[in-house]
């Protein structure tokens, strides 16, 4: 067996209708120890945005293009509607396959299936196991009058009737990991059914919340979340048992905000699924990978990231090229995520943006004033600031959270400058320069 490819293996996990307050590390009573651990050892994306409903988010994830540019801004694709992600759009799976990846999908498609050309295995995936529609029974796998669980294109997987989808999907991914030939890097797309309605989960998962949660919908959803978290923990364990773990990038994302009518919660944000309030579009997201520098693991990235950004980010990480796509709306975010503290500052008009470690930010009065220094109020791990220097020349009022559009504009300008940067020139000291070798004086030595 050859050595693992230097290109990262990629596990892209999407949770369905997963709310901001449905994960433990956001203060939820719902127990998510595996997600919490992965996020705390990775980089939490706390200004991560998605679309307010399912198909638009998934279409942007797969194409890198806004739904207004693919015609999918209408809503979700219903089972009987002859629609899909346009067939002339290049998918993320196609681009990764072009770069030599083995590509596998397990879970929910929801990007159209009205003709064979729309199916996952015709859109770049080597294999598919999952369902085509947007929701179904977790145990029977029936949507309305039809069974919806397939292996690749033709085979209806009736033998899984009665088995809970989170268990089935977890085992399928584990098998892909165990059987993978490491001659190729691996891309696994795992869009769970969890935690979309209907509210269904084996009782042992919901029963553990009897004392903590009185609302029956919330209690049932809590069990569904914990069951999904357990599955992610099992997948993580399988990666660690294999030779893949040390070269794997894990991305976790929701597709939209939680649905309050079926137990989801987005506190403290306003609104929920299908709304344009923060509760509908401000998504749970994080990345975990050995590729992230040690000093930045466990940090919070507050720069703006959008679901459409994963397309160029992952294609570039895979060593691929973005040629052949329609104009992308997403941006490569890997430098921002994995080198969160890249030290830079830019001033445009009245606005100044700082990223990375800017140095000690305390205010030091003249010694003769008798005043004490004013220590910087910034918490450890902060890596982004925005100031209006005209109104606030002393840089006391950080506006990075309240002015996200300005942050994105200035980050784009920084990124453009970064593209023109030449390699760093910073050689090690040369012992031949020692003045004792040159008559006791400094001077040219080469």
Please work out, in degrees rounded to the nearest 5, the angle formed at the alpha carbon of residue 87 by the alpha carbons of 82 and 89: 135
Q: Degrees (nearest 5) of the Cα angle 119, 122, 125?
A: 95
| Catalytic choice (54, 104, 141, 306) | 54
Catalytic residue from among 21, 26, 69, 110 = 110
288 bridge partner residues:
250
> Among this protein's residues, is 54 annotated catalytic?
yes
In whole angstroms, what is the distance from residue 105 CA to residue 116 CA?
A: 16
Edge-to-edge strands, sheet with 384-388: 344-348, 351-355, 384-388
Would you state the structure tokens that stand for residue 261, as one six-digit string? Answer: 């009518």
- Using a 10 angstrom Cβ sphere, with 0-12 exposed, 13-18 middle and 19 or more buried, the burial of residue 274 is middle
CA distance 237 to 232: 9
Residue with the two structure tokens 């999952």: 130
Nearest to 240 by CA among 180, 151, 177: 177
* Strand segments (E) across 199-302: 248-254, 285-288, 299-301
Count CA within 13 A, CB hemisphere, residue 153.
14
Yes or no: say if 11 and 289 are a contact pair by the CB < 8 Å rule: no
CB 44 within 8 A of CB 25: yes
Q: Is 282 a catalytic residue?
A: no
List of E strands, 255-398? 285-288, 299-301, 305-306, 344-348, 351-355, 384-388
CA 93 – CA 101 distance, rounded (Å): 9
Tell me how far CA of residue 422 lies from CA of 24, 425, 438, in angstroms.
43, 9, 33
Asked if 159 and 133 count as a contact pair (C-beta separation under 8 A), the reply is: no
Which residue is listed with tokens 């990375």? 356
Q: Which residues are catalytic?
A: 54, 110
């Amino acid at each position: 067996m050859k050595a693992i490819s230097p290109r990262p293996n990629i596990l892209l996990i999407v949770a369905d209708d997963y709310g901001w307050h449905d994960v433990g590390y956001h203060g939820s009573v719902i127990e998510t120890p595996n997600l919490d651990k992965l996020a705390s050892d990775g980089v939490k994306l706390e200004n991560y945005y998605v679309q307010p409903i399912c198909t638009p988010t998934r279409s942007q994830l797969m194409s890198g293009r806004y739904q207004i540019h693919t015609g999918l801004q209408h809503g979700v694709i219903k089972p009987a509607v002859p629609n899909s992600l346009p067939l002339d759009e290049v998918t993320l799976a196609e681009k990764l396959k072009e770069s030599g990846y083995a590509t596998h999908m397990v879970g929910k498609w929801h990007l159209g299936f009205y003709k064979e050309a729309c199916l996952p295995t015709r859109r770049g995936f080597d294999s598919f196991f999952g369902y085509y529609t947007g929701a179904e029974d977790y145990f029977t796998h029936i949507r309305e009058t039809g069974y919806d669980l397939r292996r690749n294109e033709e085979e209806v997987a009736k033998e899984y009737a009665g088995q809970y989808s989170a268990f089935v999907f977890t085992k399928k991914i584990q098998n892909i990991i165990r059987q993978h030939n490491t001659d190729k890097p691996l891309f696994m797309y795992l869009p769970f059914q969890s935690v979309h309605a209907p509210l269904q989960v084996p009782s042992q998962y919901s029963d553990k919340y009897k004392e903590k949660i009185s609302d029956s919908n919330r209690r049932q959803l809590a069990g569904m979340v914990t069951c999904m978290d357990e599955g992610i923990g099992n997948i993580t364990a399988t990666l660690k048992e294999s030779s893949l773990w040390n070269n794997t990038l894990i991305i976790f994302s929701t597709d939209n905000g939680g649905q309050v009518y079926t137990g989801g919660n987005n506190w403290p944000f306003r609104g929920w699924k299908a709304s344009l309030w923060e509760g509908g579009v401000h998504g749970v997201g994080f990345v975990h990978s050995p590729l992230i520098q040690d000093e930045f693991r466990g940090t919070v990235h507050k720069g703006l990231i959008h679901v459409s950004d994963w397309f160029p980010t992952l294609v570039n990480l895979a060593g691929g090229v973005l040629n052949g796509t329609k104009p992308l709306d997403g941006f490569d975010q890997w430098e921002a995520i994995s080198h969160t503290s890249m030290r830079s500052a830019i001033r445009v008009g009245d606005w100044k943006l700082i990223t990375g470690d800017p140095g000690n930010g305390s205010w030091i009065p003249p010694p003769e004033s008798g005043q004490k220094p004013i220590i910087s109020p910034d918490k450890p791990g902060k890596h982004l600031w925005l100031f209006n220097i005209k109104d606030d020349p002393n840089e006391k009022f950080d506006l990075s959270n309240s002015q996200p559009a300005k942050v994105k504009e200035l980050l784009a300008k920084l990124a453009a400058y970064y593209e023109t940067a030449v390699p760093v020139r910073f050689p090690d000291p040369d012992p031949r320069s020692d003045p004792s070798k040159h008559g006791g004086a400094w001077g040219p030595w080469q």
